[in-house]
Amino acid sequence: MHTLRYTPIPASFYSARRDALAAQLPAGALVIIHANDIYPTNADGTMPHHQNANLFYLTGIDQEETVLLMRVGEQGTHEDTLLLRETNEHIIIWEGARLTKELGTALSGIADVRWADEYNALLAEWVPAAGEVWLERDNHPRRYTYVQTRNERYAAALQACYPDTKVCCLYELLAEMRLVKTEEELQQLREACRITGEGFTEVLRSIKPGMGEWEIEAALSAAYIRRRARKFSFQPIIASGADTCVLHYISNHKCCADGDLILFDIGAEYGGYAGDMSRTIPANGKFSPRQKAVYEACLAVHYYAREIMRPGLRKSEYERLVRVRMAAELVKLGLLTQEEVNAAPENPLCVRRYFMHGTSHPLGIDVHDVGPADPVFAENQVWTVEPGIYIAEENIGIRIETDVVIHADGTEDLIPNAPLEVADIEAAMS
């Protein structure tokens, strides 16, 4: 479709998502969701636009200054209006034409498409008549930023103009909805993950001691974009040597030395959905005995986590079980004593010395996708599985991550095309 690098999800998906949201809202509710801002850098520079995930989830529109308005009636009926930035001659010359009303309808399934300059007039008519106004606020528990989003800015303006209006938050409703993926979403995620794994496997064959981490990043970027990804789904981590133990190392500025491990935490974005994969490899193509032992311990925990991830298991219990299994592996490696583990065998928090992060997070439009605080695993949820062992005193950091869909009888690996076993990694690099 015009302006899109990817094959979009059919508009019927977005119509169904709006139906599902409206069914949970009271009659008289007015929903307002804005696109993300385009953020400035310096002088006349701007950052690339990254769409608000919930707006994209409900409309499929990846364009700045877009607004979704939903007026909810009795028994979940709703009237939807899409506001788009109107193209003018200046925009056409300098940036290229924006979506027409017809394309807005084709992508979103919304028949009533208007220009964004009608926003204030529509609010003046619809807000006083609404029983409740439901706004989008990012209440993700790990969100931390000083920057006010477009949704937050417009929410403050609305409450100042209409102080008597009852305002409610959409976050929990949409987080619950987004946790379980539809078949259309799974198709986009499978493609994002296919690109993620294929690109890594292509680049893996060329890695050798002396390469710059930045060279590997550049090769991955080319491999992903060549496969129609728009970009990395997050800032890529290509960490060698001691920095394999830095969880969010993103400078990628060193040369990879002979004997070093290289830890990858990477992903490609396709169609607005994210892949997320970690692999750890030897720069020279051959694991040392100690590196291999730590890698295989981490891999054993990785397989165990995938084995127990089943519908009905609560996330917190899953993490506890993984810690118990990790504790056993760390004892075998000589990193923990059995006495330390026996002090709290049902929940050995001592593993945090070498395994500091959680094992899994939901994946979707956002890399760290939204969901309830402690969900129960269910079919068609998509999760990462990423145990790690980090031994700073030995310059050994191992993380092994894939993305999985939960089915009734087990999990489906979305990145089966990237080497996982020691022998397969070494064979690909030989």
* DSSP notation for 51-69: --HHHHHHH----TT-EEE
- pLDDT(144) > 90: no
What are the tens digits of pLDDT across the range 262-283? Answer: 999 999 999 999 999 999 999 9
pLDDT of residue 245: 98
pLDDT of residue 137: 84
Mean pLDDT across the stretch 111-129?
97
Provide the residue ranges of all domains of the chain, joining segments of one domain with +. Answer: 11-179, 183-429
- The number of angstroms, rounded, from the C-alpha of 213 to the middle of its chain's C-alpha atoms is 23
pLDDT of residue 357: 97
CATH of 183-429, one of 3.20.20.140, 3.40.50.1820, 3.90.230.10, 2.30.40.10: 3.90.230.10
How far, in Å, are 14, 136, 138, 320 from residue 53 at the CA level? 13, 10, 10, 30
The domains spanning 11-179 and 183-429 adopt the same CATH topology: no
> Helix 183-204 vs helix 422-429: angle between axes, to the nearest 10 degrees?
50
Backbone angles phi, psi at 151, to 5 degrees: -60, -45
Question: Helix or strand or coil: residue 176?
Answer: helix
What are the tens digits of pLDDT across the range 220-248? Answer: 999 999 999 999 999 999 999 999 999 99
Strand order in the sheet with 277-282: 237-240, 261-266, 277-282
Give the whole-angstrom CA distance, residue 34 versus residue 135.
9
CATH of 11-179, one of 3.40.720.10, 3.40.50.300, 3.30.2010.10, 3.40.350.10: 3.40.350.10
- Give the percent of the chain with pLDDT over 90: 90
- pLDDT(2) > 60: no
What are the tens digits of pLDDT across the range 19-74? Answer: 999 999 999 999 999 999 998 889 989 988 899 999 999 999 999 999 999 999 99
How far, in Å, are 132, 165, 188, 189, 385 from residue 155 at the CA level? 13, 11, 32, 32, 37
Which DSSP symbol is given to 347? S
pLDDT of residue 3: 65
Residues whose CB falls within 8 Å of the CB of residue 236, separated by 6 or more in sequence, listed in order: 217, 220, 250, 252, 264, 265, 266, 267
pLDDT of residue 10: 97
- Give the percent of the chain with pLDDT over 70: 99
Residue 110 structure tokens: 């919304």
**Smallest Cα–Cα separation from 61: which of 120, 29, 17?**
17
Buried b (16+ CB within 10 A) or exposed e, 65-81: bbbbbbbbeeeeebebb
- pLDDT(397) > 60: yes
Mean pLDDT across the stretch 182-200?
98
Which DSSP symbol is given to 76? G
* DSSP notation for 113-124: EEEGGGHHHHHH
* CB-CB contact of 294 with 389 (8 Å): yes
* CB-CB contact of 414 with 402 (8 Å): yes
